[in-house]
Structure 1
Amino acid sequence: MNSPALPADSPAPAAWEELVTTALLGTDRRTPPGCEPGREAPVALLDAAAVETVRRRAGLRPARAAQRPRPAPEDPRPALPPAAARRLAMLLADRPGAAGGGRRGTAPDLMELLPQWLAAANERGFAPPPQALPALLDAARGRTDLRPAALTFAGPRAVWLARLNPDWRFALRATPGAGAALPHLEDAAQVQQLWQEGLFAERVALLSAIRAHEPAAARELLTTTWATERAEDRLMFLDSLRAGLGPEDEPFLEQALADRSRNVRATAAELLSALPESALAARMAVRAGTCVALDHTREAPTITVEAPHECDAGMERDGVVPKAPAGRGERSWWFGQLVEAAPLGAWPRRLGGRTPGEIVALPVADDWQSELHAAWCRAAVRQRNAEWARALLGSPSAPEAGGPGAVSLAERAKLLGTLGSGERAEWVAGFIAMHGLSEAFQLLGMCVVPWSAPLGRAVVDALNIARDAGSYPWSFSGVMGLAERCLDPAEASRLDGLLAVPDEPEDASPGAGGYWAEAFQRLVTTLRLRAAMIEELGTAGPSGGAAPS
């Protein structure tokens, strides 16, 4: 049907802004120029917009053609095997929440398998199919936890694509120097030029690269411009000294204790306290030692605590934050910081030559046990002291669900990080055997994937016990999801006996049996899918090295 023309006596078409305003308000409230209100007003508005569009386009001057982008860089890595490339496309095509709410059924969650697939592909050194890169970057855009592995797998073309699409700009921020090539570290002139003139991201990347190979050279480079750097930049540069931190860094860090930025001072103090032989650690040992003593007048030797009554200038210079958080007493706040920063090796000398295990077992007077043990936990994590971590963790079969004394599950999880992977898994397996799965989620997150055989068996046995007891099944969905991602795929055959719907006890949650059967079916299906993924990537990397399990 032909649209009616504008009235012959209508004025010239209105400005584009006027037409946009009319469209937003609606023709019932505002009509185009020269048109009466009524049924024809919307059509007249569209006609006027069409005429104005042609007029605007006709008035444009031809622009100079944009420069064609440079070709994408070559990726020298070998291509994925065809089966693995098809699997990647399937994983990237899955979208979270596509199945809607409610029960998940027996289908694996493919997006949750993508991080594991990427780790295996990166370990083997494969390059992605070029056509998969947009979907891969879209997935990484929506999940920050996926970005490091996704950008490693995407390789140099990720930065090339990010420069063409603002939606993928995170790849520029996540890549040191935004993908710029660093000079050869032996070329002193080029290194100095980049350090003096480069962008902040390039300078951070340069400092980190030098620190990884020559810690002293990186520290010396930093001293050349330290006094003129911005406070936020000094903080980032100082944080790079964590890699390869050693006694040689102490003089520089001691100077940073007098920095005008509180955050820089706090970071310098933290790094110094991680060096048990540093002067700051010695000062903190003296301060903490005056607060803790052993009382032999009681029935059993008991630790007594006398928290500091003030935070003096020396304490503040050494990183003690004077203002306590809301709801926290000042004296306990200062005391915790002193103990946390004191070297753990000083306590046996202070407390009668006892071992860490014997010290942790001592009673603590006047309700100071929680504060003291929590500070020792933070010190053990900061100083990477496995002996103290074992003492504070205690036996996994101990009846106290929260650990010896006042060590919480969150603190236990951090302490586990100081132990080797095998010892960590063994401890968590023992904890699950004693306490079940209700409090083990945080601890399982600290264990290396795939879980060791004893840990995997402990998790499956605990799930089976919960199922047979008629426990509320949805309470274990988090652990079941972890098992899907972390259980060794070789364990799938052991689970076949758990796929049937169990007989439900009288006091069981309604429908629990069906849920448990679905959950175990999904677990078995996911484990077999993971095994297939690894097989598709090959049992050895392109260089011939052994592939990870």
Structure 2
Amino acid sequence: MSDVDTWWRDVGNAALLGTARRPAPPLPDLGRAGVLGRSGESSREEALLDAAALGGAALRAGRRLDHADPPEAAPDDRRPVAPRRAVQLLELVMTQPPAGAQQRSALLAHWLGAADDAGCRVPHALLPTLLALATGARELRRPTAAVLDERGRWLAGLRDEWSWVADASAGAEARTASRRTGAAPRADDWARLPSTDRVTVLAGVRAHDPAAARELVRSTWATDAARDRRAHLDALRIALGPDDEPLLEDALDDRAASVRELAAELLDALPDSARAARMAARLRPLVQRTGLLGRGVEVRLPDEPDDAAVRDGLGKPPLRRSARGWWLEQLCAGAPLELWAELTGAGPVATVKRLTDAQATDALAGIRRAVRVRRDPEWAAALLDGGWDPTLVPALPRELRERAVLRRVDATSTKPHHAAAVIAAVEPPWSADYSVALVSRLRAAPQGSAIVVATMPYLVAGLHPAALDAVERWLESSGADQTLTTNLRHLLQFHSVKRSITEAFR
């Protein structure tokens, strides 16, 4: 062991025991390095820190470099670099996010999507910073992989922490093509895509060509794992229609329970399907009118289901649920809503009011499920008259939906998190009138800063530009409330930068 090794071990012992018990050893002779100790008197603590700094530098200086062959040259990029103004905005968002660090990911995702739509790539100088950010934010990985181009993928291959790029890039071209034009990949290309990319591609194709997407699902159905079959089936929610019924009927016989359950759930959205008719036939004898004028409604619980009913979804109930109550809910969710007019002789509003017996809770739970997936506005309005249910709001026409949410915001303005849950019921982007009216109500709320903090994610995602003037006026009158001022300023900056990004790619 050399004198330097012995000295470094003694430095460690002094640090472990404390300088009160053992002082730092004197510096060894470092030869040509010419390092001398501190001139004058110094405390034991300073001597130990000096020794630790010197020893650390000596370790780094004396370490031999690992031998590595130079990497092969990067292939030529195939995409043009993003426009200069867009590059400036990207650098701003990554290094000095104008709307606060919390909104950086949303702005980056918008930039990356706009760049991909324009067929552009990230400039080389910004690749390391973007790769580092996407490494820490999983939601940015796929959008990032789509715009790295050849040089970016080459660079990512040189560092272990960027190894995720290889998987994220595998289906980048197919994802981009399906999102832009709805182009379906060839069957063999589809079969080779990673599972996570298949779902993205399927959603893009489904939005443009439902039949082509359905054929992609069928092409690998026999060999896909249960998890993939379920994920692919779930993508059929987009543009779900009668042509999907044969595939869903086949899925009712799938060997995996999770696939069978999802198939039954999707068939709930098809009131003219054969399964809906079978569920109606089972429900019909359980409902009868009561009273002298037949204005009452009594619902009986179903008996033990046969094999055909189990196939249609009347299987094992969830934990802590009555089996017969669950079966009734399943029947009401799967049968056509029009059946209730036949059984009760009344419309949705009267039917909801007449369902008051012991089984009403299970029956109404099934009806709610049917209304959600079929987006029936008349039934949604009838159920909302009986109590707030945010899951029913999307079934209303846009104007009624926004009006219902604004009324509910007025009723919950003293409870910021409740108000935020109400606002979440309207999907972004929002209309101009609704955005302006919502800002007015939030401004009038007694807990202004708290309600803005709670609703910030929805304001960022949904607010129409027409409401930004109202936000400006609110900011000007926010006074000494620093939390409110900061959040309103971030909201304005977010929408300003987002608009600038969009314009920079035009």
Amino acid at match of 1:85: V
Q: 1:308 — aligned with what? A: 302
Aligned-partner residue type, residue 525 of structure 1: R
Q: Which moved more, 1:429-438 or 1:328-337?
A: 429-438
Question: Structure 1 residues 198 and 242 mapped into 2: Cα distance closer, same or farther (>3 Å)?
Answer: same
Partner deviation per Cα, 1:330-356 (whole Å, 9 max, x = no partner): 22222222222223233222221x333
Q: Which amino acid aligns with 1:526?
A: H
Q: Is the 8 A contact 2:295 2:344 kept in 1?
A: no
Cross-structure match for 1:293: 288
Q: CA distance change for structure 1 residues 231 and 476 in 2, over 3 Å: closer, same or farther?
A: closer
- Given that 2:371 and 2:392 are in contact with CA atoms closer than 8 Å, whether structure 1 keeps it comes out as yes
Query: Which runs of no fewer than 5 residues in structure 1 stay unpaired?
Result: 8-18, 30-36, 96-106, 395-403, 503-512, 543-549
1:155-234 superposed matches below 5 A: 162-174=156-168, 177=171, 191-194=186-189, 215-216=210-211, 219-220=214-215, 222-223=217-218, 226-234=221-229
- 1:351 corresponds in structure 2 to 344
> What's the CA shift string for 1:297-329, capped at 9, x where partnerless?
48x83332222243443232113341322x333
Q: Which stretch shifts more, 139-148 or 377-386?
A: 139-148
Q: Deviations over 1:495-530 (max 9, x none)?
A: 56655789xxxxxxxxxx843xx3443355335424
Shift of 1:478: 0.7
Distance change (3 Å), C-alpha of 1:51 and 1:135: closer
- 3-state DSSP of counterpart to 1:479: helix
Q: State the identity %.
A: 30
Aligned with 1:479 (options 445, 455, 466): 455
Q: Aligned partners of 2:205, 2:140: CA distance in 1, in Å?
A: 27
How does 1:375-394 map onto structure 2 within 5 Å? 375-394=366-385
**1:57-111, Cα deviation, whole Å (9 max, x unpaired):** 69x9x66x365154263224x73343x533432322258xxxxxxxxxxx95354
Equivalent position SS for 1:440: helix
| CA–CA separation in structure 2 for the residues paired with 1:483 and 1:208 | 26
Q: How does 1:81-160 map to 2 (within 5 A)?
A: 81-82=84-85, 84-94=86-96, 108-112=99-103, 114-116=105-107, 118-119=109-110, 122=113, 125-126=117-118, 127=120, 128-146=122-140
- 8 Å CA contact retained: 1:212, 1:244: yes
**Equivalent-residue separation in structure 2 for 1:210 and 1:452 (angstroms):** 27
Measure the CA separation in 2 of the matches of 1:381 and 1:156: 45
CA deviation digits over 1:424-469, x for unaligned, max 9? 33332233245536332123124354644443344334334334xx
Deviations 1:334-386 (A, max 9, x none): 2222222223233222221x3333333x2322354443333222212222333
Q: CA deviation at 1:191?
A: 3.6
Partner of residue 406, structure 2: 429
- Deviation string for 1:263-318 (max 9, x for gaps)? 121122222222222211211222233444332348x8333222224344323211
- Alpha carbons of structure 1 residues 118 and 27: separation in structure 2 relative to 1, 3 Å: closer
Do the aligned partners of residues 368 and 235 (structure 1) sit closer, same or farther apart at CA in structure 2, a change above 3 Å counting?
A: same
TM-score between both structures, scaled by the size of structure 1: 0.67
Task: Tell me the distance in 1 between the aligned counterparts of 2:419 and 2:274.
Answer: 39
Distance 1:338 1:523, change over 3 A: same
Aligned: 1:365 with 2:341: no
Give the whole-Å Cα distance in 2 for the aligned partners of 1:304 and 1:428. 33
Cα distance in 1 for residues equivalent to 2:207 and 2:23: 75
AA aligned to 2:377 is A
Alpha-carbon distance in structure 2 between the residues aligned to 1:522 and 1:28:
46
Shift of 1:172: 4.9
The RMSD of aligned alpha carbons is 5.0
Name whichever of 267-276 and 524-533 sits farther off. 524-533
Match of 2:37 in 1: none
Match of 2:493 in 1: 529
2:321 maps to which of 308, 311, 328: 328
Distance 1:114 1:255, change over 3 A: closer
Name 2:78's counterpart in structure 1: 74
2:261 counterpart residue number: 266
Contact 1:480/1:519 (8 A) holds in 2: no
> Is 1:456–1:488's contact at 8 Å kept on the other side of the alignment?
yes
Query: In the alignment, what sits opposite 2:311?
Result: 317
Q: Distance in 1 between matches of 2:284 and 2:339?
A: 8
Match of 1:239 in 2: 234
Stretch moving more, 228-237 or 340-349: 228-237
- Aligned match of 1:444: 423
**Secondary structure in structure 2 of the residue aligned to 1:324:** coil
**Contact 1:27-1:41 within 8 A present in 2 as well:** no
Gap change, CA 1:241 and 1:52, over 3 Å in 2: same
Map of 1:397 onto structure 2:
none
Distance 1:493 1:195 in 2: 47
- Partners of 1:191 and 1:494 lie apart in 2 by 50
Q: Read off the aligned partner of 1:93 and give its amino acid letter.
A: T
- Measured in 1, the distance between the counterparts of 2:465 and 2:273 equals 47
Mark the CA change 1:443 to 1:208 in structure 2 (over 3 Å): closer, same or farther: closer
- Of residues 369, 374, 393, the one that matches 1:416 is 393
Contact 1:288-1:342 at 8 Å conserved across structures? yes
Pair 1:135–1:324, CA change in 2 (3 A) = same
C-alpha deviations, 1:207-254, integer Å up to 9, x for none? 667656655455456556544443333333433444443333323332
Gapped runs of 5+ residues in structure 2? Answer: 17-21, 30-51
The total of aligned residue pairs comes to 470
